[in-house]
Structure 1
């Protein structure tokens, strides 16, 4: 019965079509081996979408194991099958071939479960949330994180067809790679969910509600502009060094309102600690705060695109050059548009 059920799920999830696409397909037994049968000791977290386990994937060259790769397996909750996005095969292929180094790599998918399970690369250096808690971010690090996160979102919004939005941008989904390079995780989750049901997932993520603009409560839809709003909240938390209160939604809304009023009223020092900052650094922080306010506009028509945000950040010059990342260069994406931002980061093509 289990074998037959796996075959049924594989067929219903479009397995025959996926065989002809450039997407590695894992069996359920393979993922069980990777995660040691979903061992609780390997569980990283549970969220509104499902469980997340760390595991080790053996990569082969023919019959020879060439390396062991640490991965993350995201197993969705057994939600209503009707929520499955019918076009997810095409979108997953796009995600598999993303060349942006600031997006966590999707390594494959399992179609033998009722809702497909996703396999991602493992990023070992924690989340932006933990980094902010340490309260040790310099101005250069703050700028670098903001710029790289913007580049990643712009890449997904502007260079993929169809455009792919995240739907759950927050501190916990911004991971830190080598040299504090940004790695946005959880791309791929939204492509499994049909657009008319994506708000259900957002509501289930109770720790994410303050990242979602109130507009979606009226329309019942998350859109690309929703990512822009969430990015504005992340910028605010990055600048203030404080995460909004998850269980105190009214307090969170008031915090956002106070931040906006402080920026518009030229009283940024009320919400950001300028102690020890130079005049140039203060001016840069003020510019980033103004970008955050634009992103937090309650009218989605007034929010900038992520391309606009990238260009505005490109006009900011940190007081010192950010250390270059010695990562392997991948094909460039929109090099002309992003060259000024990459130049001021001193990173060449490391972030694309």
Structure 2
């Protein structure tokens, strides 16, 4: 019969079979599309919820790491601004190869410092606090607050920070040549730390401390001056670092009553006994640094006779008894001008006076050392050291900067947090 086929089964019209097949295909496609939409929609919802949860976690860390406190502290200080960055957690993880042990530069009570490499091959140092210590968070906030007040060529530069991780992170310029302590106390290195370099490092460190005390918008006491906190670059330029213990001094005060903090061997005995922190406490610590530079000895040693364990006492006693050249490093005596060595020793001795009022200011120390550097370079014209040249060195331009961490970081909204992580430092009006 026309239009029908028979193969031993019921005869079905061709058109009907074709429609049934088309319907089956459409149904299969429809189910597939539906499942795909469901899958995509479900994935979108999942990733959306995951992203929101991550943002909320970062907000939590921001507040936990003192972001609100940082905002409040920084709002108290105004000044001209230098740009710096708020880094993301992902950026710093990638820069340190997920904080690989091979990237560790140093460790201490504060936490760990890592070497990082950014995509543009710029090297950075990342300071990571210890987990679960409120004191570490406070020191972190304090360090940012202090470093936002000054940029100086002899102070390590703060590049930015990260508040969105479990522990706060600070990002600094990477200083290539280690610490002054490494160079003084490593016998393989100390011989190459010439007298000329030592005098230069001393003058530059004094210059930086003088700036902290008298040329910043708010005076700053470092409170932990020591050779381990003085970094050196490839040119042996001094960079004062680690401001976690530092304090800002209101203009109407000359001292602070505070919990004693610092490093034994470098700590001002007057501050230790009275808890009265003044600028002269840094002067004492700097005197110990000078004594280290001259003698190559540790600030505290326990493998020497008891009379020699405390370098400050031992050094002052040696100068008073005219035994200075018995305790100086041999190669320094051979290289240095005897008169200049005595001058530096006398500066160190005056810095190490037991009473703060008997110590010079850091500005006076810096001026004396700058004068000695000029005399070292121009020994035949040392009678006419130019005071104006020294003043100009001490009064080189410096700037302050501030961190804009956003105006809101509420846990029930992501707007404030998003604005925080997307901002860099913004200029403030009325900068000098």
TM-score by length of 1: 0.76
Q: Partners in 2 of 1:3 and 1:248 — Cα distance?
A: 54
Superposed displacement of residue 313, structure 1 = 1.6
- Superposition pairs of residues 11-160 of structure 1, within 5 angstroms: 11=63, 12-14=66-68, 22-58=83-119, 67-77=120-130, 78-80=132-134, 84=138, 90-95=145-150, 98=151, 100-113=152-165, 116-132=168-184, 133=186, 134-160=190-216
Alignment RMSD: 3.8
Q: 1:338 to 1:213 in 2, by over 3 A?
A: farther
Partner residue of 1:272? 328
SS class of match (1:217): helix
SS class of match (1:84): helix
Larger deviation, residues 148-157 vs 2-11? 2-11
Unpaired segments ≥5 residues, structure 1 = 59-66, 203-207, 323-335
Q: Partners in 2 of 1:313 and 1:81 — Cα distance?
A: 37
Superposed displacement of residue 73, structure 1 = 0.6
Q: Per-residue CA shift, 1:116-138, capped at 9, x if unaligned?
A: 32111111112222322322333
Q: Per-residue CA shift, 1:60-101, capped at 9, x if unaligned?
A: xxxxxxx22111111122322697277776544224xx1x21
Q: 1:306 to 1:295 in 2, by over 3 A?
A: same
* 2:315 is the counterpart of 1:263: no
Q: Partners in 1 of 2:138 and 2:170 — Cα distance?
A: 14
Partner residue of 1:320? 377
- Is the 1:229–1:295 Cα contact (8 Å) retained in structure 2? yes
1:239 to 294, 302, 307: 294
Q: Partners in 2 of 1:48 and 1:87 — Cα distance?
A: 16
Q: Partners in 2 of 1:176 and 1:348 — Cα distance?
A: 22
Unpaired segments ≥5 residues, structure 2 = 1-52, 249-255, 380-385, 400-432
Equivalent residues, number: 317
Q: 1:130 to 1:6 in 2, by over 3 A?
A: same
- Superposition pairs of residues 143-292 of structure 1, within 5 angstroms: 143-187=199-243, 190=246, 199-200=260-261, 202=262, 208-220=263-275, 222-245=277-300, 253-273=309-329, 277=333, 281-292=337-348
Quick one: higher RCO (CA 8 Å, sep 6+), 1 or 2?
2
Q: Which has the higher Rg, Structure 1 or Structure 2?
A: 2
Superposed displacement of residue 166, structure 1 = 2.0
TM-score by length of 2: 0.63
SS class of match (2:220): coil
- Is the 1:228–1:304 Cα contact (8 Å) retained in structure 2? yes
- Superposition pairs of residues 327-342 of structure 1, within 5 angstroms: 339-340=389-390
Q: Per-residue CA shift, 1:132-182, capped at 9, x if unaligned?
A: 232233332222111111111111221112112222221122122132221
SS class of match (1:297): coil
Superposed displacement of residue 187, structure 1 = 3.4
